Amino acid sequence: MSKKNYSLLLKNARLIDAGQNLDKQVDILLGDGKVVEVADVISSAAEQVLDLDGAWVMPGAIDLHVHLREPGFEYKETILSGAQAAVAGGFTSIACMANTNPVNDSAAITRFILEQARLAPAKVLPIAAISKGMAGDELVEMGDLVDAGVVAFSDDGKTVANSKLLRHALEYASLFNKPLLCHCQDNALFANGVVHEGLVSAAHGLAGIPSLAEDVDISRTIMLAEYLNTKVHICHLSTKTGVYLVRSAKARGVKVTAEVTPHHLFLDERAVVDLAYRESLDESLKPAKLCYNTATKMSPPLRSVDDVVALRAALADGTIDVIATDHAPHEATEKAVEYELAPFGVVGLETAVALGLRLIQEKVLTPLELAARLSSTPAAILGLNDRGTLAPGLAADLMIVDPELMWTVDPEKFYSKARNTPFSGWQMRGRVVKTIVDGKIVFNL
Amino acid sequence: MRFERKDLLGTRDLSAAEIRYLLESAESFKEISERPLKKVPALRGKTVINLFFEPSTRTRTSFEIAAKRLSADAVNMSASTSSVVKGESLIDTVDNIQAMAPDIIVVRHKFVGAAHMIAERVGASVVNAGDGANEHPTQALLDLLTMSEHKTLGPDLTVAIIGDIAHSRVARSNIWALTALGITVRVCAPPTMLPRGLDEIPGVVVCKRVEEALAGVDVVMMLRIQLERQDRLLFPSIRDYARVFGLNRQRLDLAAPDAIVMHPGPMNRGVEITSEVADSDRAVILNQVTNGVALRMAVLFLLGGQGHE
C-alpha cells in the first residue's frame, strides 16, 4: 500500500474544497502522495480506482487543538491512539498541545513527539509551550523549537497571566511567523468554578465559571495583538461577548483568529444535569433523569443558550474561523467521580466532522463553509501551504464522506483510548468512510 | 397514596402531592417521640447506614434517633474514620458498603450530586442528607412540617429566606419544595451571595434589601452565615453583615404580626439573628429540631418499610 508511485483514482466524487472554491462532481487522481489532477472526467489508468458514486470528498480536516497526552499520560491517550482516532474522524493533521509531562518546552521533547508520530496514521504537528514548564515566567526557546518543527505556541490549559510575558511572546513569535494560540481565562474570576455561571450553577449549587472570566482575558489578548500588530489566535471561544470582541477586533483590522469546539456549538449548560434535554434526530433518546454527567465537564464550560446561538452565527459569518476539537482524553476512572472532582475535558476527534455535517443539515453552514472551517482556514492559520485544499501538487490528504450514512455514537467503538464524550448515543447522519493521508488509505470504515 | 421512590435525593423533582404525603406521614410519627417508650418495630431487622463525608452533629444524630425509634440498626460511618482519607474513590467506598447489604444509606457529602451518584450505583435506598450546596431535602421538609403547625401551606403564604443563598443547600431545597406548593419565596442576600440566574426560577422573588424581603412576610427563615467564608471577599466584615442583614426586633416588626422565625441551625447569635429574636416566642427553631426526628422517621419508614428490594 505504501509503495512509491502508487496511484489512486477517485471517480465520481463530489469535491467540496473551499481552497479552490469548488463544489462539483469530478474525478480526482492521486499519485506519489500528491494530488495529480482534478477534472470532470479522468480516464488515465491508476493502480486502484474507487467509484465514489457521488460521495463527498473534502480535504482532510486539520485540528488546531488536540491533547495527545504523550509523553507523561499515556494511560489517557498516546500519539498513536490519538492519531488513529483522528483519521477515523476525518482528521489528517492534528496539532498537539504542550501540556504533557514533561511539557513540550524544548526541542528534545518536540523531537520525541515527532519520533513517536512516525508510525502514526495522521500528521502530528507539535505545539510548543509559550513559557517554560507552562509556569508563566520565562519564554521557551522559540527559535530552537521552530527549527525542531513546532507549528505554534500555546500554554493551553492555562492562561499567560503575566501581560508583559504575553507581550514578549507575541513579539518574539512574530519573528518566525508562528501563531500564539491563547487559552483566555482570568484566573481570579474563574476561581474554583466547575460549570457555567448561570441557570444550572444557580439551581444546583455548583460553583460557576462566569463568562466574564473568558471575556476579560480575550479583551486583554486582543488589545496586546492590536497594539503590537501581531497575529493571535483565540482558543475555544465560548461566549457571546467573546464573539463580539473578536468581531469588532476583526473590523478594526486586528490580526485575530478564533476557534470553536463542536461541543460548544451543540450543547449548553443544561446538558450538565440532563444530557438528553436537546431535541435529537433520534426520537428514541429518552429524557434522562437528573444526573451530573462528568462527560459535560470541560473548560471553558458549556455556556448558555444565548452563547450557543451567538457562536453558531459567528461560525457562519466567519467571525469564528475554524472548528477545533480540544480533544482532551481522560481515563474512565478519572471521570467516574464527583462532578466537582472530575478533570476538565472531553474527546472530540471521532465526532467533530459528523457534527460539522449536522451544521450543514441544520443550515448553519454550507458544505463549502464547513470545508473552510475544517481544512483550508486551519492550514492558513498554521501557515501550512502544502495542504488544506486539494489543488494539484499538494498533499493527497482527504476524507471521503457518505453524507447519508446513519450511525450512532458509541464510545466503546472509539479508536481513542478515552470514552469521555458528551455525544454518546447521538444519532448522526453522515460519516467519514475513508481517510487518505499522503495518498494512502489510512482509515476504511 | 404510596411513596413510590427508591431514594429521596432532593425536593426539586417532588410533586406537591408527594410533599403533602410526606408531611402527613410525618404527622403520625410525631407522637412516638412523646411516648415513655419511644420505639416502634416498623424497621426491625433493617440496616440504616449514616454515611457522612462531612462533619455533622445534629443531622446525623437526628437520623440516628429516627432510625433507632423505628427499631432499625443504625450504623454511623464518618469520612474521618473511613478509607476516604486514604484516597479511596467514592464509588469504591460505596461498593464496599453495598457489599454489606444495607437497606438505607443516608449520605452527607461536600460535593454536588454525590448522593445521586450513590443512588445510581446501589440497590439500597439513599437519602440525601446534604450534597454540597445543592440539596438537603429532609431539612426543607421538616421546615415545611414546622410551618404547617402555624400556617396553611398554600398560595396565600409568603416565606422570606435571608442569608448566604449561593452556598446554601437548605435554601435550594426550600425553594423547590415551597414553590411546588405554590408558596411565594422571597430571597435576600448580599449580592455576592446571590447566585446569578436565581431570578429565572419561577416563583422566586429576589429582594435587594432585607427590609423589602421582610415586609408583611409570614415566615422568616434566616440562614447561617459561614464565618469561614469571610476570607473569600464576599462581605466586608461580620459586623457589617449583622448591620445590613441581621434579623433584630425592629426588622421583625416589618413582617406580618403573626410571622414565625426559623433557622436551620447552628445559629451565629448576634450575626444573622439577635438573641432577642432567637429566644422570642416568635421563634420556632427548636420545634424544627423536634420535627426533624418525626420527618426523618417518616422518610426512613416510607423508603425502607415498603419492600423496595
Same fold, B16-135+290-304 and B150-283: yes
Q: Which residue has the higher pLDDT, B142 or A280?
A: B142
Between the two ends of chain A, the Cα-to-Cα distance in Å is: 17
For A30, the enclosing helix (H) or strand (E) is strand A22-31
CB contact under 8 A, A210 and B196: yes
Pairwise CA distance, residues B16 & B22, whole Å: 10
pLDDT beyond 50 at B51: yes
Q: Inspect the interface and report whether the beta carbons of B196 and A201 lie closer than 8 Å.
A: yes
Measured CA to CA, the distance from residue A414 to residue B123 in angstroms comes to: 31
Mean pLDDT of the region A104-126 = 98
ipTM of the complex: 0.92
Got the DSSP string for A39-51? Answer: ES---S--SEEEE
Half-sphere exposure of A3 (CA within 13 A, CB side): 5
Residue B290, pLDDT score: 97
What CATH superfamily classification does A61-388 receive?
A: Metal-dependent hydrolases (3.20.20.140)
What's residue B236's pLDDT? 84
State which residue of chain B sits closest to A272, comparing Cα positions. Answer: B113
Which residues of chain B neighbour A206 with C-beta distances below 8 Å? 112, 132-134
d(CA B114, nearest CA chain A) in Å: 6
User: Mean pLDDT, to the nearest integer, of A240-266?
Assistant: 98
Q: What pLDDT score does A275 carry?
A: 59
d(Cα B270, Cα B276) in Å, to the nearest integer?
9
- Output the pLDDT for position B238: 87
Classified as helix, coil or strand, B104 is strand
By the 8 A CB rule, do A308 and A242 touch?
A: no
Q: Which of A197, A199, A292 sits opposite B112 (nearest CB)?
A: A292
What's the mean pLDDT when you consider all of chain A? 94
**Pairwise CA distance, residues A157 & A235, whole Å:** 10
CA distance A343 to chain B (A): 14
Judge contact between B149 and B118, C-beta under 8 A: no
Cβ–Cβ below 8 Å for A337 and B91:
yes
The answer to whether the Cβ–Cβ distance between A205 and B134 falls below 8 Å is: yes
According to DSSP, the residues that pair with A29 across neighbouring strands are: A9, A37
Confidence (pLDDT) at B232: 66
- Decide if B277 contacts B255 (C-beta within 8 A): no
Indicate yes or no: CB of B112 within 8 angstroms of CB of A198: no
Nearest-by-Cβ selection for A205 from B117, B132, B200: B132
**Is the CB of residue A202 less than 8 Å away from at least one CB of chain B?**
yes
Contact A351, A440 (CB under 8 A): no
Residue B308: pLDDT above 50? no
- Asked if A210 has any chain B CB less than 8 Å from its own CB, the reply is yes
What is the architecture of the domain spanning B16-135+290-304?
A: 3-Layer(aba) Sandwich (3.40)
CB A45 within 8 A of CB A408: no
Q: What percentage of chain A reaches a pLDDT higher than 90?
A: 93
**Mean pLDDT along residues A269-275:** 84
- The span from the first CA to the last CA of chain B, in angstroms, equals 19
pLDDT in tens, A29-45: 999 999 999 999 999 88
Secondary structure of residue A347 in the 3-state scheme: coil
A388 torsion bin: left (phi>0), alpha (psi -120 to 50), beta (else): left
* Residue ranges covered by each domain of chain B: 16-135+290-304, 150-283
Locate A157 and state its grid cell: 490549559
Nearest-neighbour CA in chain A from B207: distance (Å): 16
Please check the confidence at residue A3 and state whether its pLDDT lies above 80: no
pLDDT tops 60 at residue A360? yes
CA A108 to CA A355: how far, in whole Å? 37
pLDDT for A126-163, tens place per residue?
999 999 999 999 999 999 999 999 999 999 999 999 99
Per CATH, domain B150-283 is 3.40.50.1370: yes
Q: Which of B35, B39, B58, B208 is catalytic?
A: B58
Count contacts between A and B (CB, < 8 Å): 75
Pairing of strands B204-207, B184-188: parallel
What is the mean predicted confidence (pLDDT) over B38-58? 94
Residue B89, min C-alpha distance to chain A (Å): 7
A47-74, pLDDT tens digit by residue?
999 999 999 999 999 999 999 999 999 9
pLDDT grade for A11, boundaries at 50, 70 and 90: very high
Average pLDDT, stretch B217-240? Answer: 83
- Residue in B with minimal Cα distance to A341: B111
| A 290-309 residues with CB < 8 A to B | 290-292
Lowest mean pLDDT among A310-314, B25-29, B86-90: B86-90
Strands A322-323 and A34-39: unpaired
Mean pLDDT score, A403-419: 97
Q: What are phi and psi of A32, to 5 degrees?
A: 55, 35
Helices H, strands E: what count in chain A?
Answer: 14, 18
Give B89's contacts in chain A (Cβ within 8 Å): 333, 336-337
CA distances (Å), origin B252, targets A348, B170, B258, B281, B307: 56, 21, 10, 12, 47
What is residue B199's predicted lDDT score, i.e. its pLDDT?
A: 84
Q: What is the pLDDT of residue A404?
A: 97
Q: Which residues of A fall within a CB distance of 8 Å from B12?
A: 203, 290
Q: Which among B50, B32, B54, B52 has a CA at the least distance from the CA of B41? A: B32
> What is the domain partition of chain A in residue ranges?
61-388
What's the gap between Cα A269 and its chain centre? 21
> CA-nearest residue of chain A to B174?
A203
Which residues of A have a catalytic role annotated? 326
Q: Tell me, what's the pLDDT at B84?
A: 62
Contact A390, A57 (CB under 8 A): yes
pTM for the full predicted model: 0.94
Q: Name which of A347, A357, A322 is nearest A430 in CA terms.
A: A357
Residue of B10, B172, B197 lying closest to A199 (CB–CB): B197
Distance (Å, whole) CA B4 – CA A104:
56
Least reliable range by pLDDT among A264-268, A422-426, B83-87, B169-173: B83-87
A126: which residues sit within 8 A by CB, 6+ positions away? A95, A96, A98, A104, A110, A113, A114, A148, A149, A150, A151
- Distance (Å, whole) CA A297 – CA A418: 15
Q: Helix A211-228 and helix A240-251: axis angle, to 10°?
A: 10
Note whether B167 contacts A: Cβ–Cβ < 8 A: yes
Q: How far is CA A129 from the centre of its chain?
A: 18
Give the per-residue pLDDT at A282: 38
Using the Cβ of B112 and the Cβ atoms of chain A, whether some distance falls under 8 Å is answered with: yes
Which alpha helices (DSSP H) does chain B contain, by range? 16-30, 58-69, 90-98, 114-121, 137-148, 169-180, 210-214, 238-245, 249-252, 275-278, 285-304
Q: Where are the beta strands (DSSP E) in A40-100?
A: 48-51, 56-59, 61-66, 91-96
Flag if A197 and B197 touch (Cβ within 8 Å).
yes
| Minimal-distance CA residue of chain B relative to A333 | B89
Q: Is A185 within 8 Å of A217 (Cβ atoms)?
A: yes
Using one digit for the tens of pLDDT, what is the confidence trace for A398-410?
999 999 999 999 9
The answer to whether A193 faces chain B, any CB pair under 8 Å, is no
Query: Is the distance from CB of A213 to CB of A160 less than 8 angstroms?
Result: no
- CA distance linking residue B247 with residue A167, whole number of Å: 52
Residue A287: what pLDDT? Answer: 38
Q: Characterize the bridge pairing of strands A34-39 and A22-31.
A: antiparallel
Region B228-252 average pLDDT: 85
Q: What is the mean pLDDT of chain B?
A: 93
- pLDDT tens-digit map of B20-30: 999 999 999 99
Span A203-229, pLDDT tens digits? 999 999 999 999 999 999 999 999 999
Mutate to test the interface with A, among B91, B112, B174 (most CBs of A within 10 A): B112
B59 counts as catalytic: yes
